[in-house]
Structure 1
Amino acid sequence: MWRVISSGSWTFHSGTSRGSADLTQWNVEEVLRMPEKKALNATAASLLGFLHDRPMSGWDLVETAQITIGQFWSLTPSQVYRELAAMAEDGLVERGEKGPRERQPYTITDAGRAAFEEWTTREPGPETIRYPLLLTLSFGRHIPPDLLAAHLRRHRDIHVTRLADLEALAGGDADPYTAATLDFGLAYERAVLDWFDTLPGRIPGL
């Protein structure tokens, strides 16, 4: 069992027949000074996920993220570079030599792979919906009909474009995980457009 033997240390006593011989002693102050292991956030984890494939610069990671996960996970260039700097300091990635255009590649380390693996064991949690158009629409009774109709038409056009972009990516040689993610995007955009098509006759001005 553990017991305090002084104000500055802990001692473990064995329960063997030889008595309560001290096995080890740790200084509490040193333990308290040990930094806590930081939990990997989802944005950092996504960057480590991309780095599993190959070393990439911050610019490469921004571009890859925008193409592959940008439709469902917002990620800005400033976030990418901030997370890379933090992960380099924590030993999860290593900086390489700067190349053309001063782009510096990053390589995932064994510690980075372990941190990513630990992140994958966590429950992802429920999705968070923040849809500005729906917030505006919920107060539609206080908005001039022509203005609200213009908002709705503009957003419908946005989803038409998104669906076309996703359809252009479909049917490629993506791995099954990327393909399944793409299928969700296609289904989502089609469902949203179906919803827009129910609005004429319900919303004045459409």
Structure 2
Amino acid sequence: MLGFLHTGEASGYELLAIAEEVVGAFWTVTRSQVYRELAALSKRGLVMPGDAGPRARVRYHITDAGRDAFAEWIALPPGPEQIRYPLLLTMAFGGHLDRACLLSYVDQHRTVHQTRLRTYQARLESTGIDAYERATIAFGIRYEDAVLAWMDDLPAILGPADEPPAEERDPATREGSG
């Protein structure tokens, strides 16, 4: 939240919208998390709440201590990425699913990734984004391209469509064996 407040005051609602737009595709931010974090940052003196505005929304601004805390945090080396892609988890156990069902899940995800790719491409062409946001969007484009290419390659990777489910191939997984 401190990073987003560098550009000016914002309510929790506005911060959530900004976070979803800027980092939402690769970093999950929930409404409850935003308000919980704002309360904690306020308690530590890193942000200050202002007067309630329209719809009783409180706008927050970053304090000097908040700027210092952000500067310390951003200077730390980032940790390793953590991929949590539910489709990959399903794919890992895909041998236990009907192939048509599995591929329908892939098609549903393909639509999402195509939409994100178009969104990123349009944003990259817009004016008013700095080099750092441009670099982040460029990563998003390459990521979506890679996921879509992987989806295109799946028929060859998965092999023949007539292969039986894992339960039928592996006698050890059958009920009553073992």
> Into which bin does the TM-score normalised by the smaller protein fall?
0.7 to 0.9
Structure 2 portions without partners, runs of 5+:
163-178
Q: Which residue is 2:6 aligned to? A: 52
Q: Which residue is 1:26 aligned to? A: none
Identity between Structure 1 and Structure 2 (%): 50
Give, in angstroms, the shift of residue 201 of structure 1: 4.1
State whether structure 2 residue 33 is matched by structure 1 residue 79. yes
Q: Which residue is 1:195 aligned to? A: 150
Give, in angstroms, the shift of residue 202 of structure 1: 3.9
Q: Secondary structure at the match of 2:26?
A: coil
* CA displacement 1:65-112 (0-9 Å, x = unmatched): 000100111000100000000110110000000111111110100110
Q: Which residue is 1:66 aligned to? A: 20
CA separation in 2, counterparts of 1:152 and 1:171? Answer: 29
Q: Which residue is 1:138 aligned to? A: 92
Give, in angstroms, the shift of residue 200 of structure 1: 2.5
Higher strand share: 1
Q: Which residue is 1:89 aligned to? A: 43
State whether structure 2 residue 133 is matched by structure 1 residue 178. yes
CA separation in 2, counterparts of 1:153 and 1:92? Answer: 45
Structure 1 portions without partners, runs of 5+:
1-46
CA separation in 1, counterparts of 2:155 and 2:96? Answer: 19
CA separation in 1, counterparts of 2:31 and 2:84? Answer: 21
Q: Which residue is 2:172 aligned to? A: none
Q: Which has the higher contact order (CA 8 A, sep 6+)?
A: 2
CA separation in 2, counterparts of 1:188 and 1:202? Answer: 19
CA separation in 1, counterparts of 2:100 and 2:136? Answer: 36
CA separation in 2, counterparts of 1:121 and 1:67? Answer: 23
Q: Secondary structure at the match of 2:51?
A: coil
* CA displacement 1:131-187 (0-9 Å, x = unmatched): 111111111111111211111111111111111111121112200000000000011
1:6-155 aligned within 5 A:
47-155=1-109
**Larger Rg: 1 or 2?**
1
CA separation in 2, counterparts of 1:90 and 1:202? Answer: 52
> TM (normalized to structure 2)?
0.86
Count of residue pairs brought into register by the alignment: 159
CA separation in 1, counterparts of 2:71 and 2:103? Answer: 47
AA aligned to 1:175 is D
What RMSD over aligned residues (CA atoms) do the two structures have, in Å?
A: 1.2
CA separation in 2, counterparts of 1:74 and 1:95? Answer: 24
Moved over 6 A (4+): none
Q: Secondary structure at the match of 1:180?
A: helix
Higher helix share: 2
CA separation in 2, counterparts of 1:149 and 1:143? Answer: 10
AA aligned to 1:200 is P
